[in-house]
Structure 1
């Protein structure tokens, strides 16, 4: 068994895998890390490997506390990936984005793939049908957009995510919801249209914490999987074992 952990900007997500089958998923705060890992290992005592992809601020020592019980691997730019990295600054490409690109390459061979990860930030990552990672885009996620409107204006309230009643907001709150949510959806659909206009044999993968909220609002046909990063992390680990 493998325990895969994704340390994000906001929270930590984890999954236990038996080969490629997910046995259980977990979500918890960063200050709960060691306690949660202990509980997971008590429940899944056959776990042999702990694999980590991290963009968040968590000390490695928190994981190394378990090195007597598990083989621990932190994914880095030096690892083996199933694509060719064409990013002009390859060492600055986030490990989470590399893991997503890896999962897309392994799960959807010989296709053009656009991975959209809607979390604290929204990232777009494009891997062509020849397994070249070409790049993508980064912009603020839904929560950051709400916070920016509140933090950088004098009077706009801080709202939490809610579906707008109409694209015409008839109150300040509804205008904010319309601007944030509809603007977000139009952005994603606009990027998808641009890629689809330039590449055939195309698949769109939507993931991240806001994937389910967004999936039914997008006009384009997508493959939505909120657990895609952890599944990709496990698949990349299996790929590494097979190709070391």
Structure 2
């Protein structure tokens, strides 16, 4: 089975070609159009496809994929064996659902905490029996910096600094960096510690655009043995949907 997986987000479109469950190609695009889709269909013997998109109009993409492949539009009803206990499944972000599907497939029979570090940071646990009850949503790195500048009169506009590595700041910009970056690390560590108390054999999986910031720092912490970075987790979850419903 050769699958084409497309995840259309607010800023970027992520596309992957899978040969069964092995990634053959990934692309991240700021702009995605029908000609690009035709190029990928011509270059690979795609048999199945799936699109995840909340807001974008994908009518033209769907028409072509329905013509050329066995196509599915991912939505909250496609749980791929996950027992979704979320009280409002229709409002659950599709990236969060795809990520826990991917985590359960990658680490079967294990409690997995997915930390998706994007515009917002989400924390979602799927347990060893494939139960998903919900999670947490928190402002991400860029959002926290922007909020401090936007909602105050005197705090400057400060950006993320990968080189910042101090427990405190000695001027206003570095104090903001300490508050945002150290604060987020404390938050992430706190969530992991909390879940470890109730979920045995915990696996932590990092994904999202800012995953490298957390990966680097958590790999130097007491959590290093249980932390894994997987930037393709959502795409793997979408591919798992194809396999589950086309077995």
Are residues 194 and 71 of structure 1, via their aligned partners in 2, closer, same or farther at CA, if it must alter by over 3 Å?
same
Aligned to 2:193: 193
Q: How does 1:140-151 map to 2 (within 5 A)?
A: 140-151=139-150
Q: CA RMSD in A?
A: 1.8
User: Residues 152-171 of structure 1: CA distance to partner in whole angstroms, max 9, x if unpaired?
Assistant: 12232333321324121122
Aligned partners of 2:13 and 2:32 also within 8 Å: no
Aligned partners of 2:145 and 2:180 also within 8 Å: yes
Aligned to 1:23: 24
Question: Shift of residue 47 of structure 1?
Answer: 1.9
Aligned to 1:2: 3
Q: Secondary structure at the match of 1:9?
A: coil
Aligned to 2:62: 64
Aligned to 2:233: 228
* TM-score normalised according to structure 2 size: 0.89
Aligned partners of 1:80 and 1:240 also within 8 Å: no
Aligned to 1:41: 41
Aligned to 1:131: 130
Distance in 2 (CA, whole Å) between partners of 1:85 and 1:66 is 31
Q: Secondary structure at the match of 1:160?
A: coil
Is 190-199 or 101-110 further displaced after alignment? 101-110
Aligned to 2:50: 51
Distance in 1 (CA, whole Å) between partners of 2:238 and 2:21 is 11
* TM-score normalised according to structure 1 size: 0.90
Aligned to 1:175: 175
Distance in 2 (CA, whole Å) between partners of 1:32 and 1:75 is 18
User: Residues 134-190 of structure 1: CA distance to partner in whole angstroms, max 9, x if unpaired?
Assistant: 211001111111221222122323333213241211222212221111111111100
User: Residues 42-86 of structure 1: CA distance to partner in whole angstroms, max 9, x if unpaired?
Assistant: 4x231233311224x211224225233333311112224211111
Q: How does 1:98-177 map to 2 (within 5 A)?
A: 98-163=97-162, 164-177=164-177
Aligned partners of 1:124 and 1:137 also within 8 Å: yes
Number of residue-to-residue matches in the alignment:
239
Q: Secondary structure at the match of 1:217?
A: helix
1:238 matched to 2:236? The reply is no
Runs of at least 5 residues in structure 1 that lack an aligned partner in the other structure = none
Distance in 2 (CA, whole Å) between partners of 1:9 and 1:167 is 33
